[in-house]
Structure 1
Amino acid sequence: MQVLVCPDKFKGSLSANEVCNAIEKGIKRYSKDIDVVKLPLADGGEGTLDLLEQHMSLERINLVVNDPLFRPISTYYLKDQTRAFIEMSKASGLQLLKDHERNPLNTSSFGTGELIAHALGQNVTEIYLLIGGSATNDGGAGMAEALGFQFITKDGMASKVAGGSLNRLTQVDPSKADQRIENVKFTVLSDVQNVLTGSNGASYVYGAQKGANEIAIEKLDAGLANLASILENGHELHPGAGAAGGLGYGAMSFLKAELVSGIEAIMDVVDFFEYAKDADLIITGEGKMDNQTSEGKVVSGVIQFGKNNNIPIGILCGVFESDNALGSSEMILQISDLAQNIDDAMTNASQYLETLAFQMISDFV
């Protein structure tokens, strides 16, 4: 019997590799004869760059850029001879800020733009942007500013554009933008389908988790709408435009980027389909499963494969919050049924996953 273990990370608790190891322990506790194949996955969000580094022969490029609050930070991206892979969370991610610093009115994707600018000088012809886990809500304006786009207000040119700056903009001047952008194909790997503005947009869906209160969320949404009204390209309605605080929109608008499903692209990169074809059972999972799970997350991609190929799917998660997240044919077990509270679940996630994996394989066999 072969079991393919292919989870995402459990955010704030375990990496995807650590989740794989815990699940393997549980399966092997049931039977050492079961062939366990571990294939950690990601969907374009934070952690994707680490996954690519494991599976591909890539060079790490180290440099110093600005973090979301314009402080210097040492970070990196990956490249081969023709392609660069940039994870925006490495420069503009929420995990770079302390809790009291989180406020998307003040944060900028400028550092992500600096990573792109550096990659443009490496003679690459393709740049892949991995855009989950952002601390920002600036519609990619900060990124564009780092690439030479100028943002104008009624009082003159703006600098250090952030989420709270967008309401004041009256014009975007592309005349001094980095011309090397025209020679590179940009592809954005995204794990969400949100549009830019409104109740299903970047600000209202993700603003609170980045530190915005209700008043700030309204201001941020209005700012993104103002940016869209200035650029007038219609990209604000594209699924994924609201990803990473509107960086999906910014990438389409300033870089002519194509947005693709992160999990589908990653599955291709890591040869998922080759690994999965001989599996008798596939076990996947993530920390929190909710309505967003079905919109391009790792679990949704694995479930779709299982349905298409008639392979049973088991799901282990921290907490399962929505009946709409999945279909009805999957086996689902959650840590919250075992843990005393959220702190216990986060701290002891590995042990609980081992227990749940033992239970799942016992029930399956």
Structure 2
Amino acid sequence: MTPAARVILAPDKFKGSLAAPEVAAALADGLRRSAPETEIRQLPVADGGDGTVEAFVAAGWARVEVTAPGPTGVPRRTSYARHGATAVVELASVVGLSILPERRLDPLGASTYGLGVVLAHAMEHGATDIVLGLGGSASTDGGAGMVQALGVRVLDADARELPRGGAVLTRAARLDRSGLHPGVAETTFTLACDVDNPLLGPTGAAAVYGPQKGAGPAEVDVLESALGTWAQLVGPEFARLPGAGAAGGTGFGALAVLGARVRSGIEVVLELLDFPALLATATLVVTGEGSLDRQSLHGKAPVGVCAAARKADVPVIAVAGRTLLTPDEIRAAGFADCYALAALEPDPERSMAEAASLLRRVGARIAADRLD
């Protein structure tokens, strides 16, 4: 008797449509309809941005709920994932752009303070290894708010403590680290990050990402100046490191004050989810995201999944809402094939609204094409 196929479903979210666990579930339904004997492991993934905590909760990690200030200071419920002494904290779910309605954008005053509150909670509840997913931030404060919440005092020339926000860092004159949370010295911080921007300059946090958070040209200039002052105060050598500009410069604050190290977001996620071990018995891997394009080729989740699977000689299928890659580019990235929902429903709005049912059809098609 031929052994049953073993398929790992490891998609990222379809942004604006379905969360990664929902994508995996829909694909699994379709696969089972056409190949009911198939052994399916649903392992939704993320690259450190929004959806990272959900991926770990779906894999069986505990969800820890906490109340923390959002990017504009309004308290809100959020959560992180925990397994043993390891915690996964997602910036986007605490102080991210996605939790703010457009009219509430505050590019000069938004802060990462709430992120520091969550990190402190994790340390105070036994976490000694914290993975911090960077991406989707609403602020450009260089991580100042985060370290303020962890006990660091940012002072002006008159020794007055500065309020939260990015723009006020133009007045930063002294850093008092004496009150830094004692747990920091006992904790390893890993930044799960898929960008390599430095803190400053034309490819830095303010210039590249400030406009996405509502900053006009004049406000970008203010933030660039503020981050320059902040960098000189905290550690200019860290400002040049790849990833320092991630999440409005939160990468810089974590590198310079928390002693963090930067790693590829998807590589960290796959390692913690034991993906390499699961590949040992896998027949096929299916991954994907809402839009598979050239940006996907630079550290995004599907390409990271594909690279890991190919090392184990397991073929990989990509599924996307749409793909802007040519067949040659898809093959060059390592995928055996790519199925796009747009081929079934070309209208983008309907494709997004009906993504679950379309993914079930794609799952059945993959089963017919690859598992018969």
Q: Same fold (TM over 0.5)?
A: yes
Aligned twin of 2:136: 133
Letter in 1 for 2:355: A
Shift of 1:364: 4.1
CA separation in 1, counterparts of 2:76 and 2:139? Answer: 16
CA separation in 2, counterparts of 1:179 and 1:84? Answer: 17
The percent of aligned pairs where both chains have the same amino acid is: 33
Pick from 25, 30, 35 the counterpart of residue 31 of structure 1: 35
Alignment of 1:185-224 (within 5 A): 185-224=188-227
TM-score relative to the length of structure 1 = 0.88
**Partner-residue secondary structure (3-state), 1:207:** helix
The alpha-carbon distance between structure 1 residues 361 and 239, as it changes in their structure 2 partners (threshold 3 A), is: farther
Q: Report whether the alignment pairs 1:15 with 2:19.
A: yes
Aligned twin of 2:251: 248
Question: Is the CA contact 1:289–1:325 (under 8 Å) kept in the aligned structure 2?
Answer: no
Q: Report whether the alignment pairs 1:354 with 2:360.
A: yes
CA separation in 1, counterparts of 2:241 and 2:124? Answer: 30
Question: Is the CA contact 1:117–1:147 (under 8 Å) kept in the aligned structure 2?
Answer: yes
Aligned twin of 1:318: 321
Letter in 1 for 2:362: L
Pick from 332, 338, 349 the counterpart of residue 327 of structure 1: 332
Letter in 2 for 1:327: A
The alpha-carbon distance between structure 1 residues 27 and 218, as it changes in their structure 2 partners (threshold 3 A), is: farther
Letter in 2 for 1:28: R
Deviation by residue 1:161-186 (Cα, 9 ceiling, x = unmatched): 21222333333332333343223222
Deviation by residue 1:64-85 (Cα, 9 ceiling, x = unmatched): 2211101121233344553433
Deviation by residue 1:81-134 (Cα, 9 ceiling, x = unmatched): 534332222321222211211233221000011122233333443333222332
Question: Is the CA contact 1:105–1:216 (under 8 Å) kept in the aligned structure 2?
Answer: yes
Q: Report whether the alignment pairs 1:345 with 2:351.
A: yes
Aligned-residue Cα RMSD (Å) equals 2.7
Question: Is the CA contact 2:235–2:256 (under 8 Å) kept in the aligned structure 1?
Answer: no
CA separation in 2, counterparts of 1:65 and 1:82? Answer: 21
CA separation in 2, counterparts of 1:83 and 1:309? Answer: 26
CA separation in 1, counterparts of 2:176 and 2:324? Answer: 45
CA separation in 2, counterparts of 1:178 and 1:344? Answer: 49
The alpha-carbon distance between structure 1 residues 53 and 271, as it changes in their structure 2 partners (threshold 3 A), is: same
Aligned twin of 2:59: 55
Deviation by residue 1:204-229 (Cα, 9 ceiling, x = unmatched): 33333333334433433343233223
Judge which range, 348-357 or 135-144, deviates more. 348-357
Question: Is the CA contact 1:108–1:160 (under 8 Å) kept in the aligned structure 2?
Answer: no
Question: Is the CA contact 2:43–2:59 (under 8 Å) kept in the aligned structure 1?
Answer: no
Question: Is the CA contact 2:17–2:355 (under 8 Å) kept in the aligned structure 1?
Answer: yes
Letter in 2 for 1:348: E
The alpha-carbon distance between structure 1 residues 55 and 22, as it changes in their structure 2 partners (threshold 3 A), is: closer
Pick from 170, 181, 200 the counterpart of residue 167 of structure 1: 170
CA separation in 1, counterparts of 2:89 and 2:334? Answer: 36
The alpha-carbon distance between structure 1 residues 359 and 63, as it changes in their structure 2 partners (threshold 3 A), is: closer
Aligned twin of 2:46: 42
CA separation in 2, counterparts of 1:102 and 1:361? Answer: 45
Question: Is the CA contact 1:3–1:36 (under 8 Å) kept in the aligned structure 2?
Answer: yes
CA separation in 1, counterparts of 2:143 and 2:128? Answer: 21
Question: Is the CA contact 2:44–2:58 (under 8 Å) kept in the aligned structure 1?
Answer: no
What is the number of residues matched between the two proteins? 364
Alignment of 1:111-126 (within 5 A): 111-126=114-129
Q: Gaps (5+ residues) in structure 2?
A: none
CA separation in 1, counterparts of 2:331 and 2:260? Answer: 30
The alpha-carbon distance between structure 1 residues 42 and 337, as it changes in their structure 2 partners (threshold 3 A), is: same
Question: Is the CA contact 2:152–2:175 (under 8 Å) kept in the aligned structure 1?
Answer: yes
The alpha-carbon distance between structure 1 residues 61 and 28, as it changes in their structure 2 partners (threshold 3 A), is: closer
CA separation in 2, counterparts of 1:171 and 1:223? Answer: 14
TM-score relative to the length of structure 2 = 0.86
Deviation by residue 1:26-67 (Cα, 9 ceiling, x = unmatched): 333443344433221122222222232343553x44332211
**Partner-residue secondary structure (3-state), 1:234:** helix
Aligned twin of 1:285: 288
Deviation by residue 1:261-289 (Cα, 9 ceiling, x = unmatched): 22222212222122222333211001233
The alpha-carbon distance between structure 1 residues 194 and 358, as it changes in their structure 2 partners (threshold 3 A), is: farther
Judge which range, 98-107 or 140-149, deviates more. 98-107
Shift of 1:296: 2.7
